Structure 1
């Protein structure tokens, strides 16, 4: 689970829900989680989207939790019959899924005892051995079992859970980035960018085309955990661009 840097901490995101795949719901969590991971020194390496199907969720969780340090999941922990994420996670870990009295007590802080229906009580089912993740928005908790972090799909609730769980996570060196704007089409800057990448193979580089007032341009982005190495790569790239297009 280690990568190019000794301090690298990796993660994957598993987005769960038929509504995402059908297009009915537009995912707003991927970008938020990606930004949060970057800010906290965690490399988000992969994102998968699966339907509300137990076998698909179990297979994805099993594959991702062995490949990365952490797996975040969003969606499928609500009160309805198709909210089966907790069931799938429990199956993936081979543990029972009882009503958790800690989770039930949290729900009762918001829902009167007389209104605690079986549907609402589903949100208190937690895999044996899991730690709860606080939900300051609606009380129904997420949970963390092993290296799998299970959160709600509603963006505001997911964000509250992500904030709550972060102090428990191991983090690595923060990834730094610099951007170089070139008012040339992407194809025109490909050669100097490739040459710079060969000279600095440890500094990931990417090109992102844009159009500004009808003219094509490209933003070149360089990333590294080493500030000095990043500065050296940027200087090298700017020199190569100047040699091609003039200073």
Structure 2
């Protein structure tokens, strides 16, 4: 087995997601962005550490954004950059960073690619208001851009548009070593293996070991998932989990 890269020992690149919208909290809209972003980031070596959902309230957005942007390498926001009165994300981000916000000629030019001048009404023009100093995130779907300021990436809530923006953002991100994972199906209930599994986790501090119960065709079962950035330490922990499973199965059979 090849030795792990020195990059495996560097601090991880981390991220948080801030989902903005009353419609998410009320259940009116079912979020489809969190899972997509989480998988996307995992695949490029960025660890998603936190997700928050806040309403369309200025103070709530500013408070949440300021709380997480200092803790993680990147923050990704979704929602609240549309044309209606409750789309206040851009204003909230400007407030959080202490900068002004105004119509951005670059954003106006982007939106003009889709709408003729007589259709660039006040509502649509709201989508061209960008905080001072921000870089734009192109939107190939509807043209209205997102933006990046500091370590915060502000994206649309509509999944297809968010995904297009994330594709634009990805090449600009610093990435780390991907987290590797292996799954061991225990064939046992969670309660049967909780104690020995805890001992294995304590003995392998450079791995994360999760226990995920499910109902199989034969009854209650558990998947044990081992994760690590170091392939050698991953396989050592997996071997320990596999041996434990064999031992516990034999013990319970008597």
Shorter-normalised TM range: over 0.9
Offset, 1:246: 3.0
Alpha-carbon distance change, 203 to 54 in structure 1, aligned in 2, over 3 angstroms: same
- Residue aligned with 2:99, SS: coil
Q: Is the Cα–Cα contact under 8 Å of residues 188 and 249 in structure 2 kept in the other structure?
A: no
Cα deviation, 1:189-219, whole Å, max 9, x if unaligned, reads: 2122111101101100100000012600000
TM-score (norm 2): 0.94
Moved over 2 A (4+): none
Cα deviation, 1:121-157, whole Å, max 9, x if unaligned, reads: 0000110100001111111010000000000000000
Residue 197 (structure 1) aligned with residue 188 (structure 2)? no
Which of 88, 95, 109 is 1:91 aligned to? Answer: 95
1:17 corresponds to? 21
Residue 175 (structure 1) aligned with residue 184 (structure 2)? no
For residues 134 and 225 of structure 1, the distance between their equivalents in structure 2, rounded to whole angstroms, comes to: 32
Cα deviation, 1:151-191, whole Å, max 9, x if unaligned, reads: 00000000000110011111111111000011211111212
1:237 corresponds to? 241
Residue 45 (structure 1) aligned with residue 53 (structure 2)? no
Query: Over aligned residues, Cα RMSD in angstroms?
Result: 1.3
Offset, 1:120: 0.1
Offset, 1:242: 1.3
For residues 44 and 101 of structure 2, the distance between their equivalents in structure 1, rounded to whole angstroms, comes to: 31
For residues 77 and 147 of structure 2, the distance between their equivalents in structure 1, rounded to whole angstroms, comes to: 10
Structure 2: gaps of 5 or more residues: 1-7
1:82 corresponds to? 86
Residue 151 (structure 1) aligned with residue 164 (structure 2)? no
1:228 corresponds to? 232
Q: How does 1:25-174 map to 2 (within 5 A)?
A: 25-174=29-178
TM-score (norm 1): 0.96
Alpha-carbon distance change, 214 to 235 in structure 1, aligned in 2, over 3 angstroms: closer
For residues 155 and 25 of structure 2, the distance between their equivalents in structure 1, rounded to whole angstroms, comes to: 18
Q: Is the Cα–Cα contact under 8 Å of residues 7 and 173 in structure 1 kept in the other structure?
A: no
Offset, 1:34: 0.4
Structure 1: gaps of 5 or more residues: none
Q: Is the Cα–Cα contact under 8 Å of residues 192 and 241 in structure 1 kept in the other structure?
A: no
Q: Is the Cα–Cα contact under 8 Å of residues 181 and 218 in structure 1 kept in the other structure?
A: yes
1:219 corresponds to? 223
Residue 185 (structure 1) aligned with residue 189 (structure 2)? yes
Aligned residues: 244
